[in-house]
Amino acid sequence: MALHIVANRPDPALLTLPWPTPLEEWSDEYVVPLPRGISRHVVRIVRLGARTYAVKETVEEMAFREYRLLRDLQRLGLPAVVPRGVVTGRVDAAGEPLPSALLTEHLRFSLPYRSLFAHGMSAESLPALVDAIVVLLARLHLAGFFWGDVSLSNVLFRRNAGGFAAYLVDAETGELREHLSTQMRLYDVQVATENIFAELLDLQAGSSLTTDVDAHDVVAMLTERYDALWAELTGIEEFGTDEMWRIEQRIERLNDLGFDVEELDIVTDIGGDSVRIQPKVLELGHHRRELQALTGLNVEDGQARRLLNDLASFTAHFDLGREDRTLVATRWLTEIYEPIVAMIPPEARGKLEPAEIFHEILQHRWFLSERAGHEIDIFDTARDYVDQVLRTKPDELTLTEDA
C-alpha cells in the first residue's frame, strides 16, 4: 500500500517522518514533548523546520471528515486549530496496516487547561476560563456548528488581556448545519456541564485545584452565562417608535461584547407604533478588526480592546482628537507600543505574546501609580515590570513550542 498525503499546504518535510512506525513509538528525534490535553487517540506534536504540527492517529474516514470540517470552520473564521493534512496508506515494517493520521497546525502560545493549572493558575481565574468556553460555544452555534463533545480537554486556551480566548481542537464529533436547533444547542451545553464538572473533580483529585471550589457552582455559571450571552446575541427586543435610540444601544452592547452586527432584522407593526429588532448576522472580532485597520497589529479581541483604550488615552493626553485617527494610531504605535515591545529582553520573549505583555505593563502602571500617589511613566513601568514580574513567569512559548 502506498503512502498517501493530502495537504492544503504541502510540506515536503512531512515525508521524512517515520510513518511506518506507530505514533506512540515515535522517538524524541521527531516528537516535541509539549503538554497535551487528554485524548481518546494517540497524539504527538512534532516540529519540522519552522513549523509545528499536532499528529493524531485515527481511522481514515474520521481523519478526512475532521480535516474537511476544520477547513470549513477555518473558512468561516471560527476559532479552531488549522488543519494541514491527512496521511493514509501507512503500513509497519511487517506490512501490517497502521491508522491514518490527521495533521493540524500547533497553535502558538496556547496551552491545554491542565498546563494552565500546573503553572499557577488560581481558582479565581475559573470564571475567565468559563467565559472563554461560553464565547467559543456561542460563536460555533451562531455558525450552525454542533460540537457534540464540549469539554476543557477539547480546547486550547490563549491569554487575552488577563482573560482567555478558547480554540476548538477536536472536531471529530462535530457537524456543520445551515441551522442549529434549540435542542442541539442545549445538548451541547449539557454535555459541556457534564464533562467540565468531571474535569474539575479530576483537577481537585490531583491537587491542581483547591477543594473549596464547588464544581456545581462552576458548571451552573457556565449555563447561566451561555444563556445570557445567547439572549443578547439573538434575542428579540420590542419597543415603541419613540425609543429608536434602543437600536443603537443594542448594537453598542454587542460591540462591547466584541461582536459586530452585520445584519439586523427590524420589523414595525401595521400601525407603525412599535418596533421589533433581532440581530441576524454577528461576527466576533470588533475590536480586533478596528485595531488591525489602524495599526496592522493582529491580536486577540480582548487585547485589542485594551490597546485601543491606551490609544484613546494617548490621543487625549496629547490633545489629538481633531487629528486623523490613523495618523494618531501610527504615532502611538511608533512612540509607545513598539518601543515598549523592544524593551522585552530576548530571553523573555517566549513568556507571553507582546500584546499580553503590553496589557500587563498597563496593569502594572496602575499598581505602581496607586502606590506612589501619582502616575508613573510608561517606560519606567515597563523596566520595573520586566525586572520584577516578567522574568519570574514561565516561558509559555517554550512550553508550547520549544520544550
Percent of all residues in the chain with a pLDDT value above 90, rounded to a whole number: 68
Pairing state of beta strands 237-240 and 274-284?
antiparallel
Residue 275 is predicted with a pLDDT of: 86
For 42-75, the pLDDT digits (tens) are: 999 898 888 889 999 999 999 999 999 999 999 9
For 244, the grid coordinates are 429608536
Residue 402, all three cell numbers: 520549544
Query: Region 137-148: what's the mean pLDDT?
Result: 96
| Grid cell digits, residue 42 | 494517540
> Global pTM?
0.86
Nearest to 306 by CA among 253, 346, 254, 258: 258
Whether the predicted pLDDT of 294 surpasses 70: yes
Question: Can you list the domains of the chain with their CATH numbers?
Answer: 4-105 (3.30.200), 110-234 (1.10.510.10), 237-284 (no CATH), 299-402 (no CATH)
Q: Burial level of 50, CB count in 10 A (0-12/13-18/19+)?
A: exposed
Report the Cα–Cα distance between both ends of the chain, in Å, rounded.
35
Place of cell 497524539: 43
- CA dist., res. 15 & res. 13, Å (int): 5
Q: Which helix (H) or strand (E) holds 274?
A: strand 274-284
pLDDT digits (tens, 9 = 90+) for 93-135: 899 999 999 999 988 888 899 888 877 777 888 999 999 999 9
- Average of per-residue pLDDT values in the chain: 90
- Is the separation of the CB atoms in 79 and 136 below 8 Å? yes
How many CB atoms are closer than 10 A to CB 124?
8
Burial zone of 48 (CB within 10 Å; 0-12 exposed, 13-18 middle, 19+ buried): middle
Which of helix, strand or coil describes residue 272?
coil
State whether the Cα torsion 357-397-72-38 is positive or negative: negative
Q: How far apart are CA 397 and CA 190, in angstroms?
A: 34
- Pick the more confident residue, 258 or 144: 144
Cell match 494541514: residue? 84
**pLDDT value at 270 more than 80:** no
Looking at residues 205-226, what average pLDDT do you find?
Answer: 92
Strands (E), 155-273: 155-160, 163-168, 175-176, 237-240, 259-268
Average pLDDT over residues 351-377: 94
Q: Mean pLDDT throughout 299-316?
A: 94
Run of H or E residues at 72 = helix 60-75
Could you tell me the three cell numbers for 366?
A: 496602575
On whether the CB atoms of residues 76 and 30 are closer than 8 A, the answer is no
**pLDDT higher than threshold 70 for residue 248:** yes
pLDDT-derived band at 38 (thresholds 50, 70, 90) equals low
Q: 221 and 123 in contact (C-beta within 8 Å)?
A: no
**Rounded CA gap, 391 and 361, in Å?**
13
* Grid cell locating 353: 505574546
pLDDT band with cut points at 50, 70 and 90 for residue 12: confident
pLDDT in tens, 325-358: 999 999 999 999 999 999 999 999 888 999 999 9
Separation of alpha carbons 8 and 72, rounded Å: 13
| Nearest-5° Cα angle at 29, 26 to 34 | 75
Q: Distance (Å, rounded) from C-alpha 180 to C-alpha 60?
A: 27
Query: Closest Cα to residue 329, out of 301, 302, 308?
Result: 308
| DSSP secondary structure code for residue 33 in this structure | -
Rounded to whole angstroms, the Cα distance separating 336 from 343 reads 11
Of 18, 12, 16, 71, the residue nearest 44 (C-alpha): 18
Q: What is the pLDDT of residue 402?
A: 38
φ and ψ at residue 276, rounded to 5 degrees: -120, 130
State what percent of residues in the chain have pLDDT above 70.
96
Nearest to 102 by CA among 72, 132, 58: 58
Alpha-carbon torsion 365, 366, 367, 372, what sign?
Answer: positive
**Quick one: pLDDT band at residue 397, thresholds 50, 70, 90?**
low
- Angle between helix 126-142 and 215-234 (nearest 10): 40
Task: Render pLDDT for 308-318 as a digit per residue (tens, 0 to 9).
Answer: 999 999 999 99
